[in-house]
Chains A and B, each alone.
Chain A
Amino acid sequence: MSIIVNELNYIYNPGTAMEVQALRDINLEIKDGEFIGIIGHTGSGKSTLIQHLNGLIRATSGGIFYNGADIYDEGYDLRTLRTKVGLVFQYPEHQLFETTVMADVSYGPKNQGLDEKEATLRAVGSLNAVHFPEKHFYDSPFELSGGQKRRVAIAGVLAMKPEVLILDEPTAGLDPQGRDEILEMVSNLRSTQHITVILVSHSMEDVARYVDRLIVMNGGGVMYDDTPQAVFAHYKELEEVGLMAPQVTYVMHALAEAGIPVRTGATTVAEAKDEILSVLC
C-alpha cells in the first residue's frame, strides 16, 4: 500500500512562449502511515506535485502508481482514486457551496454513491473528528470564521474515508492559535484514523513539529528528502533557495559555534530546551 512517483515531469503550456517546466524528474515513494511535509518556495512545484497524486493533473511524462496500479492505465477509475487520496485545497472558499455545513460535508460521500442516511453519518463522524462544534452543524458555511471554514473543508474530504490525506497550506491566513489547533487536529487524525498525511506548507516551523519526513522542493525538483533534523542541517543551503530553517536551528548552531557542546539537531522549542538543559545541568 503506497504511492510511487516515477520520473515525473510536468510542463505547463508546452510549445508556446509561456512554456514552464513545473516538475522535473520527481521520484518518490510514499509509504503507508507516513506523516510527510512538503516544503518549498512559491512556484517550486509543490502544489502541482500533489495534484498529480490524485490524478487531477496528468503528467507530461513519467508515471504514478497507487497500491501497485498505474493510475494512467486506460480504464483506471480516477474518481475512486480521488476518494482514496483525499486532497484539501488551500482555500475552503473554493469548495463550500451548500446551504448548511452538514449538506456540504455530505457532498463527497454522496458522490461515492452512499445514500442520504449513510452520508449524514459520515458527515457527523468527520465533523466530530475535526472538532467542529455541534451547534454550528446546520449553519451556513459562508458565515463561519476562517479556521472553522477550513475544518469544514477538511471534514468534507475526510467524510469520503480516504487512505491518504493531502493538505495544501492548511494554515495559510490563520492566526497562531488557529494554526496550532488545525495542525494538532491533523496530527491526531493521523494517529486515530491510521491514514497517511501529506502536509504542504512554506513554513518550516509548522511542519518541523509534526512530520517525520520532509521533502524540500526547489525549481520543480526534489532538493532534499529526509528527516527534518537531517534537512535542517542544510540550513545554509535552504536559505539560498529562500527558505528558513526553524529559529531554534539557528539558536542551536549559534550556541555550538560559541563553544557550548549542544547537539544541533533540535527542531522544536521543546527539544531545544531539553538539549540546552541537559548540557547545562
Chain B
Amino acid sequence: MLKDVTLGQYYPADSVIHRLDPRVKLAGTLLYLISLFLFQGPLALATATVFLILLITLSKVPFSYIVKGLRTIIIILIVTAAMNLFFTTGTVIVQFGIFKLTYEGIQMAILMMIRLVYLILGTSLMTLTTTPNQLTDGLEKGLRWMKKIGVPVHEIAMMMSIALRFIPILTEETDKIMKAQMARGADFQSGGLIKRAKAMIPLLVPLFVSAFRRANDLAMAMEARCYHGGDGRTKMKPLRYTAADRNAYLLLFSYFVAMIALSLLWTKVLGGGKLFF
C-alpha cells in the first residue's frame, strides 16, 4: 500500500555510479544543480542533457524507473509552467483578460520545466544509487570542517541515519497495524473527514506506542555498546577516495567549466538570449 513511492528510493545494482564515494555524488549533485540554474543557451542545455543521460546509462537504473519519480511532482510542474506562461512580461501574443501569453513567457515556462525535471532526475539519481547510510556517512565526513564552527555534525548525521533507517520499519509497521485493524473490521477508506480522522486512532495509537518503544530500546542498545558520540569513533567502512573517485571529480569539474564556457560563448560571442533567441 505504502510502497509505491519510487522518488529517491535506493535501487540496488552494481554500477560505476553505485560504487562511487558518496562525497563525490553529493558534491556532484550540488554542482549539477548549480549548473542547471546558471546555464544559458542551447549549447549548454545540450551538454547538461548529454551529461544526465550519460550518468543514468552508467548507473544501470532503468530509465522508466527514474521517470516514475516525476509523477509525484507533476502538479508542481504544471503550476510552475502556468505561472511562467501567463505572468512574464514581454511581447504579447494572445491576451485573455488579465492573462497575457508572451514570447518570453513561453521561453521561461519551457526553461523552468526543463530545469525542474533535470533537477528531480539528477537528485533522484543520487538517492537511487546511494544507500541512506552511505549518504549520511558522506555528509558527516564531507561536512566535518563545520564542527570547528560549533555545528554538531556527527550528532546530526547520526540522527539522520537513524531517522532514515526507521522509515522502512515504521512503514512496514503501519502496514501491519492497518491489516490487524482491518481484520477487526476497521474501515480507513469511506466516510467523511471526521469519520476518517476518527478511524485513524486505532492506527496511530499502536504506531506511536511502538515508535516510542523502539526509540527506547535503541537508546538502551546504543548505550549498552558504549556509544558516546562522535569523538574518537572509528568506522567499520571508512570512506577513502579511489582512482575512480578522482576521475569522477575531474569529469565533474570539466563538465562545470564546459557549462560556463558554453553559456558565455552563447551570450557574449554569439549574442543569443537566455534560451533560444
Nearest CB of A to B209, in Å? 7
Within 8 A of B (CB), among A58-94: 79, 82-83, 86-89, 91, 93-94
A142 to B205, CA, bound (A): 11
- With contact pairs A16-B65, A17-B11, A107-B202 given, residues A93 and B210 touching in the complex (Cβ less than 8 Å): yes
Residues of B within 8 A of A160 (CB): 184-185
Which A residues between 142 and 187 are near B, CB-CB below 8 angstroms?
A: 142, 156-157, 160
**Does A94 lie within 8 Å of B176, measured CB to CB?**
yes
Q: Is the CB of A83 within 8 A of B205?
A: no
The reply on A121 being an interface residue by CB < 8 A is no
Interface string of A2-38 (1 = CB under 8 A from B): 0000000000010011100000000000000000000
Residues of A within 8 A of B209 (CB): 93, 142
In the assembled complex, which residues on chain B have CB atoms less than 8 Å from the CB atom of A83? 185
> Is B183 an interface residue when CB atoms closer than 8 A count as contact?
yes
A112 within 8 A of partner (CB): yes
Bound-state CA distance A18–B202 (Å) is: 31
Q: How distant is the Cα of A43 from the Cα of B187 in the complex, in angstroms?
A: 29
Q: Given contacts A13-B3, A17-B12, A89-B176, is CB(A97)–CB(B206) below 8 Å?
A: yes
Residues in A with CB closer than 8 Å to B187 are 79, 111
Taking CB atoms and an 8 Å cut-off, the chain B residues in 157-180 that contact chain A are 173, 176-177, 179-180
B177 with A94: CB separation less than 8 A: yes
With A89-B179, A94-B173, A95-B177 known as contacts, the answer to whether A111 contacts B206 (CB < 8 A) is: no
Taking A93-B210, A95-B206, A142-B209 as contacts, is the C-beta distance between A108 and B3 under 8 angstroms? no
Per-position binary interface string of chain B over residues 1-43, scored 1 when its CB falls under 8 Å from any chain A CB and 0 otherwise = 0010000000111000000000000000000000000000000
Assuming the contacts A17-B13, A97-B201, asked whether A54 and B183 have C-beta atoms less than 8 A apart, the reply is: yes
Cα distance A56–B188 in the bound complex, in angstroms: 13
Inter-chain contacts of B57 with A (CB < 8 A): none
Residue of A nearest to B210 (CB): A93
Give the docked Cα–Cα distance between A89 and B184 (Å): 11
Number of interface residues of A (CB under 8 A): 28
Of all chain A residues, the one with the shortest Cβ separation from B213 is A93
Asked if A96 is at the interface of the complex by the 8 Å CB criterion, the answer is: yes
Bound: A64/B138 CA distance, A? 49
Hey, which chain B residues are within 8 Å of A16, CB to CB?
65
Q: Is B83 an interface residue (CB 8 A)?
A: no
Inside 8 A of A157's CB, which chain B residues have their CB? 183-184
CB <8 Å contact, A79 and B185? yes
Report how far A112 CA is from B209 CA in the complex, Å.
26
User: Does A51 sit at the interface, judged by CB under 8 A?
Assistant: yes
Give chain B residues whose Cβ lies under 8 Å from the Cβ of A107.
184, 186, 202
* Chain B positions within 8 Å of A156 at CB level: 184
Question: What is the CA–CA distance of A26 and B215 in the complex, to the nearest angstrom?
Answer: 40
> Is B117 close to A, CB under 8 A?
no
Q: Whose C-beta in chain B lies nearest to the C-beta of A111?
A: B185
Residues of A within 8 A of B182 (CB): 56, 82
Report the Cα distance A17→B9, complex, angstroms. Answer: 12
Chain B, range 184-214, C-beta contacts under 8 Å to A? 184-187, 201-202, 205-206, 209-210, 213
Report the bound CA distance from A97 to B210 in whole Å. Answer: 11
A sample of 19 cross-chain residue pairs with beta-carbon separation below 8 angstroms, ordered by A number, consists of A17-B11, A17-B12, A51-B179, A54-B183, A79-B185, A79-B187, A82-B184, A87-B183, A89-B176, A89-B179, A93-B210, A93-B213, A94-B177, A95-B180, A95-B184, A96-B206, A142-B209, A156-B184, A157-B183
Q: Besides A17-B11, A88-B183, 16 other CB < 8 A contacts?
A: A16-B65, A51-B179, A56-B182, A56-B183, A79-B185, A82-B182, A89-B179, A94-B173, A94-B177, A94-B180, A97-B201, A97-B202, A97-B205, A107-B184, A111-B184, A111-B185
Question: Which residues does A use to contact B, with CB under 8 Å?
Answer: 13, 16-18, 51, 54, 56, 79, 82-83, 86-89, 91, 93-97, 107-108, 111-112, 142, 156-157, 160
10 tightest A-B contacts by CB? Answer: A111-B185, A97-B205, A108-B184, A95-B180, A87-B183, A94-B180, A89-B180, A97-B202, A94-B177, A56-B179
